[in-house]
Chains A and B, each alone.
Chain A
């Protein structure tokens, strides 16, 4: 398909100038054009959550957006969240609790978890399960993931309480 479009966006804090085909999804752009393969595609129809990234700090499905729609936006992937150490605590608890097996859903899970915990609320287990209703995991049975997010939420509240005191 001819007629590439010039876009400029921030990805993980770096400005990226690129020419993209209008039909290229944001997920394919991230994975193929700039080799950020931490973002995965599992269904390419916005159901499985493997492709979740942050667009202007909100979780979005990178498979449901065209790259051209991200022009002028700030995109952050699991690699970026890792780099700026925004999810250190989540990653540590996921690791200790073994809240992943094959790891293919994990970047999307972490982006969802980042979104769930961003408000500072401490959701209960049912609340966490509901909030993960758009993240498919075939390996774990979910319980360990719920445990890990619940633990991180509790740790963050304790941390905030300690900071206040």
Chain B
């Protein structure tokens, strides 16, 4: 396929992998912050191609994975209110709350519908004037601009039966929290691609400047990821720490002005927002500004709003920080599987545990032996 297959070429991948291997024998830990990269790494078997000294650590950039149990419970309680049509992205349907998921709520009679965009949710609101439509807004700056645009559109149209349950989060505070975490030892980062189309690369300057770590903003095709790993390893070997932009075909240094304007028009930072596994991070979540309060589901509906601790057995927190690897969690693959996930990392295909379970379950060594036996 044009503009896709070019980024999946086997021969180029081999060359890049060899170049990475040629740079250094030093053991290095590089974190891909974004869940999209985690998915690519497993789907294409990139771990297999990297030299054994370069280890990828899978970061917290999977929005479904970092939403805390309490917020899922709140979403379910809104979905169950009479007259509500609750709309959500598909991958949030199966995320377990403290007791049930949205999928269970749907089976139990709640009107939960999957949408591909918040604008679709607004359309549903227009078609059902006697119902109230709530959109479950999730995600980093990749998805928040479309929520913002939808709210602006709803305001323009005077839609009275539409609101948003806002759980949007920001990547930079999370990255800072990670870098400040004492149990974390990383040598470099792959920066998120699609988030950066919105926020630009400038906002990562603190990573090299304040923490002395290299970062390369990366695209999502397998060659993008490999090339970004190469850029980061090369920086380390050459003793540099900079922000590099591998995804120049869509990411600009200053980001997307219109998207940023829409974001700041509609949203303001929350004082604190709870992240699953990472705890409460200051100014990391977004809420609707007072001007758009009419569209804020949190003000329209009373929700339990409880903070609920993760199940004891679940080690999503350590996994999201990259301190533990998925298979080091006691319940991985036994009590916690994609069919019956305990932790959120097992739900989304961008979660490290689900990716490892679905694609990488053969140990690295075993995979190699399979590939070699051809």
Are A and B associated in one complex?
A: no
